[in-house]
Structure 1
Amino acid sequence: MEYHYPIDYDWSTQEIVDVIKFYEAVEKAYEKGINRDELLNAYRRFKEIVPGKAQEKKLCGKFEELSGYSPYKTVKTVREANSGEMIRMR
């Protein structure tokens, strides 16, 4: 897809890379399916970088607006799944 990931330019290069990995994990959940634990680990790292709910909501909302993929729904599904399960969003 042709869009830019929502990021904060005050983050370090590694933090930007890790946030993009979370966005890519959400994309993978919609496009191919992803292991629950892999996505959960990417989300946990995302939350280390974006601990506040307001900023998380803003970034995830922008990502959903640009991509059509919902990080909120994906993470909700991941939390309800069992360890090792494949997550496939529709």
Structure 2
Amino acid sequence: MSYSYPMDETWTTEEIVDVVNFFTLVEKAYEKNVRRTDLLHLYRRFKEIVPSKSREKQLFEEFRRSSGYSSYHVVKKARESEETVISM
């Protein structure tokens, strides 16, 4: 891994950990697989930290440019799927 996770200097340490955990699951969805419920749970937490849709898009784009992984597509697949495991 030669990229960094998007951050905001106004976040608390706990919020940073939760956002990093979310992006780590996105990464894992591409590299292996993740439990759908875990991903959706961390996405809900991410939305508590980043309620703005425009800011969410900015962070997702930062992460995509850095890693090549689309958070949007992972979340979309998790929302639309009935499967217990998500893999990209």
CA distance in 2, matches of 1:15, 1:71: 18
Partner of 1:10: 10
What is the SS of the residue equivalent to 1:51? coil
TM-score (norm 1): 0.95
Give the aligned length.
Answer: 88
Partner of 2:78: 78
- 1:4-43 map, 5 Å: 4-43=4-43
- Calculate percent identity across the aligned residue pairs: 55
Tell me how far 1:66 sits from its aligned partner.
0.3
Partner of 1:87: 86
Tell me how far 1:3 sits from its aligned partner.
1.1
TM-score (norm 2): 0.97
The root-mean-square deviation of aligned C-alpha atoms, in Å, is 0.8
CA distance in 1, matches of 2:67, 2:4: 9
Any unmatched runs of 5+ in structure 1? none
CA distance in 1, matches of 2:3, 2:76: 24
Query: Which letter maps to 1:10?
Result: T
